[in-house]
C-alpha cells in the first residue's frame, strides 16, 4: 500500500478581473517551475465552490510530498527560489496574494 502524502497547502486570492490571467500563469508557469527537480509528487488545484458560503481563499493548491525530508529539501531548492523570483516579477505590486501556507502530515486515510 502506498504511503499517504505529506501536503503543502497554499491559499491564494487575486482581483476578480485578474482571475483568467492568474489561473493561466499558475497552471502553465508557476506549477511547472515548482515541480522541477522531482521533489513534488503531484499538485491539485481547487477553486472555492459557491455552493456553500465561506470566507476562505478562492484558490487552494495542494502539493504532495513523499516525506518530510523531501519537503525540506524542496524548501532550499533552486526550483523554489526561481519560482518565487518569477512570481515576484510577474505579480509584485499587483492585486494577488498568498493568503495561507501550511504543511500537513498524514494521519489516516479512509476509502
Enter the pTM of the model: 0.93
pLDDT band (50, 70, 90) for residue 1: very low
The number of residues making up the chain comes to 111
Burial class (CB in 10 A: 0-12, 13-18, 19+), 111: exposed
Asked whether residue 86 is domain-assigned, the answer is yes
Note the pLDDT tens digit of each residue in 25-80: 999 999 999 999 999 999 999 999 989 999 999 999 999 999 999 999 999 999 99
Asked whether residue 66 is domain-assigned, the answer is yes
Per the structure, the complete domain to which residue 96 belongs is given by: 6-48+56-104
- Tally of domains within the chain: 1
- For residue 15, what is the domain's CATH number? 3.30.70.100
Asked whether residue 1 is domain-assigned, the answer is no
Asked whether residue 110 is domain-assigned, the answer is no
Amino acid at each position: 500500500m502506498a504511503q499517504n502524502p505529506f501536503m503543502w497547502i497554499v491559499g491564494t486570492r487575486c482581483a476578480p478581473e485578474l482571475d483568467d490571467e492568474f489561473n493561466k500563469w499558475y497552471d502553465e508557469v508557476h506549477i511547472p517551475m515548482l515541480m522541477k527537480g522531482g521533489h513534488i509528487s503531484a499538485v491539485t488545484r481547487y477553486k472555492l465552490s459557491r455552493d456553500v458560503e465561506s470566507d476562505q481563499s478562492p484558490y487552494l493548491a495542494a502539493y504532495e510530498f513523499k516525506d518530510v525530508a523531501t519537503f525540506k529539501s524542496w524548501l532550499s531548492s533552486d526550483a523554489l527560489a526561481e519560482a518565487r523570483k518569477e512570481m515576484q516579477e510577474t505579480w509584485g505590486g499587483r492585486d494577488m496574494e498568498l493568503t495561507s501556507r501550511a504543511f500537513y502530515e498524514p494521519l489516516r486515510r479512509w476509502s
